[in-house]
Each structure stands twice: as C-alpha cells, then as structure tokens.
C-alpha cells in the first residue's frame, strides 16, 4: 500500500511531471539519492535545464554547470555524506509541473579538502530546504538554503573567520519584485485553484509572518502557534514553547531591527506519514545591520537573508516549524561591508 498523500484540490497533475516515479515526492527523493549518495554527479545535466536558475544565500547563478561543479566539490569535502529526506511538501503548478519543498537532514564527516580548509575529520549534521520548480521532469528554478552555521560549528571552525574568507556584497539574493499575492501566485507560478489549496492553513502562516515576524507582535504568537510548539532553526538549534519561539525570532531580527520579511512562495499538502498538513514558505529578509552587535560592530549596511520554513499543523495551530537560513552568509555580507581581511 502506498503512503496516503492528498494533492491540493483542483490539481490534475499528469504523470509526465514526475515520470517514471509514482508521485513528486518519490521523484525528488530518488533523484537526490542518485546524484548525492550514488554520486551520479553528471546526472544533474539530465535533471536540470541547461539554463536553470538557482537562488542561494550567496546570490543567483544560471546554467547547469555551476550546479555540477558545486556538487562535485561538496561531495569531495564530505564523501560519506548522506542526505536523508525528512519531508517533501509538493504542489502542482499546472498539469505538467510541480514545486517541491524538500527538507533534507544531512550527516557526514569532513575528510576531504573544502572551501573551509583541510580535512578536520569531524562529523557534522545539518538541515537544508531546497525548493524546486520542475516542469515535465526537468528542474527550471531552485531556491536552496543550507544551515552552514551548523556545519562550521560542528567542524570546530571559527564562523567569523570563515565568513571573512567568503565575504561578498549583498544584492544578489532574489532581486525581482516580491509577488503581490503569494497565496495565489508566488515565484514558482500560480497555485492550484487560485490559492484554494489548504487556504486556511496557508493564510494562517502568512498572518503569523505578517503580524508576529513583520509586525513585531510577539505577544500574539499564541494566536497562531500551539503551546507545545517546537522550532528547529539555524545552528542546528531547537527551541520549544512560545517563549522559545519568541527568542528565536528575536535572535533573527534584533541585529536588523527595521527588517521586513518578503514572502516569495507558498506550497502546501497533506501527508499522513509526515504528520498531516504542512505549509512550505520561501522568504527573504531585507534589512540593515544597525541593531545589536551580534556579528561585531554594526555597519549600517544592507543585508539580504534567503530563508525557507516548513510549518506542521495540528488542531488548527502550528506545532512545529523548520526555519532554515545561512548565518555564515549573513556574517560574510557584514564582513564585506566592514572591509574585514581574509584569514591569513
């Protein structure tokens, strides 16, 4: 018996969107395994369009070859790495395409040369959320966010030293205008039935982000989240209860007190094996580093933070959020603005 999966209402997704697999979830999981675990790195050229667009924490790249190159280098650094599929929240985009929010739990050992330096021979665990738009089995556009702070800390390295080596100017993170109504049409295209798919849960999440995250009404957080909420966030850190949820938001926002979060994309579906209804969101924080000196002396410079979250619902409340963003990329933008010299 196949696991229970409920596609959004109004979806008539053709098999050509995910062939030869049984559904988009199996498509994503199997292709990821073929490339990353079985090391079929060259298969990326079949899986990605030649002109694919990939948005990451360090900017946007175009074309398949940068993806092949980056994958090869990462596998070399962590050759025993396994990326376990925690969840795939997928939603149709027309009858021959779908968008997938793939949450990956990775574990491995740093035994190869990497951008972080020579092997430390230390193990790591981290999470990634990769949001991909596939049309007729080919990846067209991706928004990928990794918790690199968790990796750097596990390897016993200095996050600020790594950031100085990676220093880059902000401005390359999803620079198009944000969607007017991501509930009905986000960066990946129109949602099923004009956003009718799990509309109540999606509106719930967008209101939480607008009122609590953007509106700074942390006192109202229990209007949207359960008492026993768990939030998994950057640095492989888990927080619990409304108080922990509030503190994690303060950690994100206090260095950039005037920041605003843009919602770039929304997807939702129901899966009994994954706990029920989940809502996936791609977001971008745009702010100025003029708040608390979490990353050293404030610079008054702009900072862009690409992030992704998955929200699990139970009894009309959010009971779990996986919130992924790359804190090393934040530090690298600030290091560039400050003119910090790379490590010797």
Q: What is the pLDDT of residues 233-290, one digit of tens each?
A: 999 999 999 999 999 999 999 999 999 999 999 999 999 999 999 999 999 999 999 9
Question: Is residue 4 scored above 80 in pLDDT?
Answer: no
Report the alpha-carbon distance of residue 246 to residue 203 in Å, rounded: 20
Residues forming beta bridges with residue 9, ordered by sequence position = none
pLDDT band at 39 (very low <50, low <70, confident <90, very high): very high
Q: Grade residue 174 by pLDDT with cuts at 50, 70 and 90.
A: confident
Q: How confident is the model at residue 3 (pLDDT cuts 50, 70, 90)?
A: very low
Cβ atoms of residues 333 and 301 within 8 Å: yes
User: Rounded to whole angstroms, how far apart are CA atoms 305 and 330?
Assistant: 7
**Sole residue written with tokens 């990846």:** 139
- From residue 138, alpha-carbon distances to 34, 117, 264, 282 in Å are 15, 34, 21, 20
How high is the pLDDT of residue 1? 33
Give the number of other CB atoms < 10 A from CB of residue 174.
21
What tens digit of pLDDT does each residue of 213-232 get?
999 999 999 999 999 999 99
Per-residue burial over 181-208, b = 16 or more CB atoms within 10 Å of its CB, e = otherwise: ebbbbbbbbebbeebebbbebbebbbeb
- Rounded to 10°, the helix 159-166/327-338 angle is 60
Q: Taking 70 as the threshold, does the pLDDT of residue 5 lie above it? A: no
DSSP letter string, 137-190: TEEEEEEEEE-HHHHHHHTT--HHHHHHHH---S--S--SPPPS-TTTEETTEE
| Local confidence band at 169 (pLDDT 50, 70, 90 cut-offs) | confident
Question: What is the rounded average pLDDT for all residues in the chain?
Answer: 94
pTM of the predicted model, to two decimals?
0.95
In this predicted structure, the answer to whether residue 176 has a pLDDT above a threshold of 90 is no
Percent of the chain residues past pLDDT 70, beyond the cut: 97
Among the listed residues 186, 165, 185, the one whose alpha carbon sits nearest the alpha carbon of residue 174: 186
Q: What is the pLDDT of residues 95-129, one digit of tens each?
A: 999 999 999 999 999 999 999 999 999 999 999 99
């Amino acid at each position: 018996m196949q696991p229970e999966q409920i596609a959004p209402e109004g979806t008539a997704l053709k098999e050509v969107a995910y062939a030869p697999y049984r559904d988009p979830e199996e498509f994503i999981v199997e292709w990821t395994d073929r490339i990353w675990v079985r090391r079929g790195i060259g298969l990326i050229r079949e899986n990605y369009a030649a002109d694919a667009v990939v948005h990451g924490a360090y900017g946007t790249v175009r074309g398949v070859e940068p993806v092949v190159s980056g994958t090869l280098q990462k596998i070399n650094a962590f050759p025993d790495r396994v990326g376990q599929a925690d969840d795939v929240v997928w939603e149709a985009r027309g009858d021959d395409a779908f968008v997938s929010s793939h949450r990956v739990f990775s574990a491995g050992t740093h035994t190869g040369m990497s951008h972080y330096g020579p092997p430390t021979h230390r193990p790591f665990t981290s999470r990634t959320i990769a949001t991909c738009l596939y049309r007729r089995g080919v990846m067209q556009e991706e928004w990928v966010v990794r918790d690199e702070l968790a990796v750097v800390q596990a390897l016993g390295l200095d996050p600020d030293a790594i950031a100085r080596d990676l220093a880059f100017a902000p401005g390359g993170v999803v620079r198009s205008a944000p969607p007017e109504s991501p509930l009905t049409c986000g960066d990946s295209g129109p949602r099923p039935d004009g956003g009718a798919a799990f509309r109540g849960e999606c509106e719930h999440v967008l209101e939480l982000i607008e009122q609590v995250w953007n509106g700074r009404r942390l006192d109202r957080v229990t209007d949207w989240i359960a008492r026993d909420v768990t939030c998994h966030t950057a640095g492989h850190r888990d927080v619990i209860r409304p108080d922990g949820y509030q503190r994690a938001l303060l950690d994100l926002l206090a260095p950039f007190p005037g920041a605003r979060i843009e919602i770039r994309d929304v997807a939702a579906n129901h899966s009994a094996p994954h706990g029920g209804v989940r809502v996936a969101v791609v977001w971008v924080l745009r702010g100025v580093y003029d708040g608390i000196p979490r990353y050293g002396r404030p610079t008054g410079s702009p900072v862009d933070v690409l992030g992704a979250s998955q929200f699990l619902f139970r009894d009309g409340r959010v009971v779990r959020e996986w919130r992924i963003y790359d804190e090393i990329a934040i530090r690298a933008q600030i290091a560039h603005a400050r003119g910090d010299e790379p490590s010797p």
